[in-house]
C-alpha cells in the first residue's frame, strides 16, 4: 500500500489543518498519527 501513502498523508494534512480542538478532532488526530507511524 505504499502507493497510497502520499494520498493518506495529504488527507491527514487536510484533516489536521481543518480540525478544531474538539474531542472528535483530537481523537481523529491521534488515530491518524497512529496510522502514519505504522
pLDDT the model gives residue 18: 72
What distances in angstroms separate CA 34 from CA 4, 30, one per listed residue? 16, 6
Are the CB atoms for 11 and 19 separated by under 8 Å? Answer: no
Query: What is the Cα–Cα distance from 16 to 11, expressed in whole angstroms?
Result: 9
pLDDT the model gives residue 27: 82
Residue length of the chain: 38
Hey, what's the cell of 19?
480540525
Our CA angle for 31, 16, 33, nearest 5°, is 30
What distances in angstroms separate CA 36 from CA 9, 22, one per listed residue? 8, 21
pLDDT tens per residue, the chain (38 residues)? Answer: 566 778 888 888 887 777 655 666 778 888 888 988 87
pLDDT the model gives residue 10: 86
pLDDT the model gives residue 1: 52
Amino acid at each position: 500500500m505504499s502507493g497510497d501513502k502520499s494520498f493518506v498523508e495529504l488527507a491527514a494534512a487536510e484533516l489536521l489543518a481543518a480540525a478544531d480542538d474538539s474531542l472528535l478532532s483530537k481523537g481523529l488526530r491521534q488515530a491518524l498519527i497512529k496510522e502514519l507511524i505504522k
